[in-house]
Structure formats: C-alpha cells, structure tokens
Amino acid sequence: MRILVTGGAGFIGSALVRRLIEHTDHEVLVFDKLTYAGLLSSLEPAAGSNRYTFVQADICDAEMVARTLQEFQPDVVAHLAAESHVDRSIDGPGEFVQTNLVGTFVMLNQALGYWRNLPEARKAAFRFHHISTDEVFGSLGEEGFFTETTPYDPRSPYSASKAGSDHLVRAWGHTYGLPVLVTNCSNNYGPYHFPEKLIPLIIIRALNGEPLPVYGDGSNVRDWLFVDDHARALQAVFEKGQPGQTYNVGGNAEQKNIDVVTAICTILDQLRPRDDGQAYANQITYVADRPGHDQRYAIDASKIGADLDWTPSVTFEEGIARTVRWYLENQAWWQDILDARYATQRLGVANG
Ligand code: NAD
Ligand code: DAU
C-alpha cells in the first residue's frame, strides 16, 4: 500500500514510519510542517529507504495537500499532524484551533475530492485514518474506563480541538461516505519523545541535576502505552479496521504521576548513579498544578483486541526501563532539542 502520514516527523508518526519501513513493504510519504515538534532526526532510520519520501508542508495549505494526494496516490491517509501538548494549549490555544480543527477540515476536504475520482476498486479500499486521543472523553474518577461510546467531555483547549476534529472526521464519513477510521489512544511513551512531555522531561532534568516538577499532589493517573505498540495498533486499524468504526487503544498500564517519576528515579539510580551518591528522588519537587488538570484517564481496549487481535505487548516496567536506557544512549538526539528548541522550562501556567 501507499501510505501518506501527516505529522510523520513527530513522536508517534515517526514510530509508525520507522515500523512501516522496517517491517512492511508499504510505501510511505511523510507530510509534515516541521514545527518545533517535528524532527527529521527521528526519521533517520527510515530516510535511506527507497520506499520513503518526505514533503515539508502545512496541512492547512489546501493546494499542497491536493497536489501531494494527486502525485503520491495514497491508499491510506494516516492523519497524525497536530499540536499535541496540553500545556502549550493553555498558553496559546489559537494554534491548536488552526492546526487541529482547520487542518483536519482541509485534510478531509482534499481527501474527499481525491477519493471521489479514484477508480472503483481503489475507492473501496481507500481509508482516511484519524489519530486522536482519550482526552476527548474528559476525566475519570477512581472507577471505570473510557469505551468507544463514552460521551465526549473535553476540558482543555487541546482536547476540545481534538474532539472537534473527531466530529469533523465522522461527519465526512456519515455525510459524504468517505471511508474513515478513528482511533482514540492513551498516553504514549518511548524513544524519540519530545522533552516537553512528562517522561522525557523527568529523565533529562534528572540527568541534568535539576528539580523534577510534579504538578499538584502527583495523584493524577495516566494509562501508559509504549509507542511501538501504538504504531502496531495503527497498522492493524488501517489494514483491517471497518470503515466508520472507532477503536480505543490503551496500554492497560495505569500509573499515578508520582509513581512514574519515582520509577524513573529508581532506574537512573541503578544505571547512572549520581556522583554524590544521593538518590535522584531527592530532586522531586511538587509545583503548582496544571490549570484544569484532568484527574484520571483509563482505556478499555477490548474492542480492538476482539475485532483486530491487538493487545499491548510491553508492560510499563519493561517499557520505562527501555525508555530510560534509550535516553541515556541517545543524548545527542535530545541535546540538540535542548540547545535549539526547548530547554524543559515550565509551560502552561500563563493566563491563556
Ligand atoms: P508531536 O507533537 O510529537 O508531533 C506532531 C507532528 O505534527 C510534528 O512532526 C509537527 O511538525 C507536525 N505538525 C504540526 N502542525 C502541523 C501542520 N500544520 N502541518 C503539518 N504538520 C504539522 O505529536 P505526537 O505526540 O506524535 O501525536 C501525534 C498524534 O497523536 C496527534 O494527533 C495527537 O493528538 C495524537 N495522540 C498523541 C498521544 C500522545 O501520548 N503523544 C496520545 C493520543 C493521541
Ligand atoms: O492521554 C493522551 C494524551 O497524553 C495525548 O493526547 C497528548 O498529546 C499527550 O501530550 C498526553 O497528554 P498529558 O497531558 O497526559 O501528557 P503530559 O506528558 O503533558 O503529562 C502527563 C501527566 O504528568 C499529566 O498529569 C501532567 C503531569 N506533568 C506533566 C509535566 C510536563 C507533571 O506532573 N509534570 C510535568 O512537568
């Protein structure tokens, strides 16, 4: 198949592209604006392949989207391009509305025009796969899980913009017949994760001897999914999923934030002990909470398990150890980001 991946230079997109190049015969075109979060260095393992092409462009640019669809002739559009960081959406929501809502509208409209002109067999096989988040469902109490029928209740500018984009995708499926698929996924982690997000931020700040900021009391819960498991789920969905369906994807690995931070400290104590012999946990600092901070996310991923035979393969204990080791072994990748793009300072406390 020919797969057009928007946002392919980001954290999850690049994991998907590396997987498709390494483990399949599919041809891949990455369509990415290269914002602060887009990194060609994350695509280096795939870049040498003759099944890989890169186009630097904005999903809001209808002409470029149309031209790329015409020239590349994809069988699948895997739409991952987005502004993805909740804290940045608190500081500057406008970019989130533009990219996540308007950009998804442009992608849908151009994909529709392209799809309508395909020959019948290719038209029937085409898929527009929209990659979304569990944050659209809001925040859980101590009990329960998000399912595919949980009502939408987004509570941050980020999750509201993703919820709106999910609605647009389903509307294009329902009204125009575009063969759409939607996945809503929990928190990803693993190699090549941009250091604005909790896990890489804590690893890097720990190694740099800096305070480790835990928002509020650290009791918030996230359901962690190793990014390569997510890439495998995405492939299963666009290869075998039923058009018009939604699939929730989760790691079955709920953790309180404070336990995640403590786990990272313990692994670093073993792999790279501090020069002064002190524990990394001594660097933990409780800081002012994120405005509107959702308390708990947890995914019921039984539908994708039953329908597409996908389950997560990496436990949190294994995944977090692999992740810490990757950051220890790949300092050049993250040092470039610290020097030129983002130096792990606090985000998301501004007044919006
Ligand atoms: P990311 O921030 O790491 O990467 C986003 C990518 O999109 C970057 O390469 C960036 O350059 C590109 N991009 C941004 N605006 C663009 C535009 N206007 N035109 C073209 N490219 C643009 O994001 P991620 O963490 O890899 O997330 C990918 C997708 O998965 C997003 O849609 C996100 O909402 C969703 N998601 C993420 C997670 C998670 O835990 N990271 C969980 C569930 C869902
Ligand atoms: O649930 C899926 C979502 O997971 C994705 O849709 C988002 O794109 C992705 O960024 C992620 O959102 P979160 O807000 O959950 O991820 P983040 O890494 O920013 O924060 C994880 C938790 O850790 C959250 O409860 C806030 C907390 N936190 C975060 C940072 C950056 C801290 O306590 N300290 C920090 O410094």
Token reading at 106 = 């442009």
Query: Six-digit token pair at 164?
Result: 């709106």
Other Cβ atoms less than 10 A from the Cβ of 198: the count is: 22
Query: Percent of the chain having pLDDT more than 70?
Result: 99
Strand partners, 30: 5, 54
Mean of the per-residue pLDDT values of the chain: 98
Segment 77-99 mean pLDDT:
98
pLDDT at 352 over 70: no
Q: How far apart are CA 311 and CA 279, in angstroms?
A: 35
Catalytic-residue membership of 22: no
**Confidence band, pLDDT 50/70/90 cuts, at residue 351:** low
At residue 217, φ and ψ (nearest 5 deg) are -100, 5
User: Yes or no: is domain 2-187+224-252+292-313 CATH 3.40.50.720?
Assistant: yes
Angle at alpha carbon of residue 72, lines to 12 and 188, rounded to 5°: 5
Compute the Cα dihedral for 149, 153, 157, 161 and give only its sign: positive
Of the candidates 172, 61, 29, 174, the one whose C-alpha atom is nearest the C-alpha of residue 109 is 172
pLDDT in tens, 10-69: 999 999 999 999 999 999 999 999 999 999 999 999 999 999 999 999 999 999 999 999
Distance CA 73, CA 4 (A): 9
Q: What is the 3-state secondary structure (H, E, C) of the chain?
A: CEEEEECCCCHHHHHHHHHHHHHCCCEEEEEECCCCCCCHHHHHHHHCCCCEEEEECCCCCHHHHHHHHHHHCCCEEEECCCCCCHHHHHHCHHHHHHHHHHHHHHHHHHHHHHHHCCCHHHHHHCEEEEEEEHHHHCCCCCCCCECCCCCCCCCCHHHHHHHHHHHHHHHHHHHHCCCEEEEEECCEECCCCCCCCHHHHHHHHHHCCCCEEEECCCCCEEECEEHHHHHHHHHHHHHHCCCCCEEEECCCCEEEHHHHHHHHHHHHHHHCCCCCCCCHHHHEEEECCCCCCCCECCECCHHHHHHHCCCCCCCHHHHHHHHHHHHHHCHHHHHHHHHHCCCCCCCCCCCC
Ligand 2, CB within 6 Å, residue ranges:
84-86, 133-135, 186-187, 197-198, 201, 213-215, 220, 222, 257, 290, 297
Ligand nearest, relative to CA of residue 285: 2
Q: Phi/psi of residue 116, each to 5°?
A: -60, -25
Task: State the pLDDT at residue 312.
Answer: 98
Ligand nearest to the CA of 205: 2
What are the backbone dihedrals phi and psi of residue 190, each rounded to the nearest 5 degrees, phi first?
A: 145, -165
Please indicate whether residue 158 is annotated as part of the active site: yes
Q: Which of 52, 114, 158, 327 is catalytic?
A: 158
pTM above 0.95, yes or no: yes
For residue 30, the model assigns a pLDDT of 99
Q: Which of 35, 36, 84, 86 to mutate to test the pocket of ligand 2 (most atoms within 8 A of CB)?
A: 86
286: number of Cβ within 10 Å: 14
Model confidence over 125-159: pLDDT tens digits?
Answer: 999 999 999 999 999 999 999 999 999 999 999 99
The mean pLDDT value for 178-197 works out to: 98
The residue annotated as part of the active site, out of 27, 32, 87, 134, is 134
Alpha carbons 262 and 202: distance in angstroms, whole number: 10
How many other C-beta atoms can be found within 10 angstroms of the C-beta atom of residue 98? 15
Residue 158 Cα to ligand 1 midpoint, Å, equals 11
- Ligand nearest to the CA of residue 68, numbered in listed order: 1
